Amino acid sequence: MPTDEVDRPAQHRTAQSEAFYEEAQDLIPGGVNSPARAFEGSVGGEPLFIKEAEGATLTDADGNEYLDYVGSWGPMIFGHAHPAVVGAVQEAAARSTSFGAPTEAEIELAELVCELVPSIEMVRMVNSGTEATMSAARLARGYTGRDKIIKF
């Protein structure tokens, strides 16, 4: 990157992200769909709007590149757009994207998890960390017979 770009204030390099953020605030509360994406309260400034990513590199709407230290908060352990992952997703999507019914792949994944972690006897698959936490809280309440949970 040329030194004149490094010296230039960030807001001049992120005009498209700023425009997207301005537009998003009229349509999405806070301009983002997750408190983790709200830069102002966590890291300062306004959020960058990402256009694409590959490996460990994110590219914003203005074409600026960044090293991704976040990894989409965990699920990108192979990096963005890893060819093996993209290929597997394309293959699965060609069969359909949602059935609303159980599939053999669920059994295969459950068997793999139980095999890799011997202390696990059964697996419940959910759609998000939130859903997993809600299920764990529900299980704990049912097991203990208690109604309240303390969080720290």
Reported as a single tens digit per residue, the pLDDT across 93-126 is 999 988 999 999 999 999 999 999 999 999 999 9
Handedness of CA 16, 17, 21, 24 (dihedral sign): positive
C-alpha span between 37 and 46 (Å, rounded):
9
Q: Binning pLDDT at 50, 70 and 90, where does residue 38 land?
A: low
**Tokens matching residue 63:** 């074409």
Reading the block at residue 30, the tokens are 């806070």
d(CA 73, CA 90): 23
pLDDT category of residue 89 using cuts at 50, 70 and 90: very high
pLDDT given at position 120: 96
pLDDT of residue 11: 52
Does 8 score more than 70 pLDDT? no
CATH number for 3-73 (one of 3.90.1150.10, 3.30.1490.100, 3.60.20.10, 3.40.50.620): it is 3.90.1150.10
pLDDT given at position 34: 80
Mean pLDDT, range 17-25, rounded to an integer: 95
Q: Find tokens 């303390």 and name the residue.
A: 150
Which pLDDT score is estimated for 4?
Answer: 52
| Distances from the Cα of 140 to the Cα of 8, 119, 131, 152, angstroms | 53, 18, 14, 16
What distance lies between CA 150 and its chain's CA centroid?
A: 26
What's the number of CA atoms in the CB half-sphere (13 Å) around residue 85? Answer: 10
Domains of the chain by residue range: 3-73, 101-144
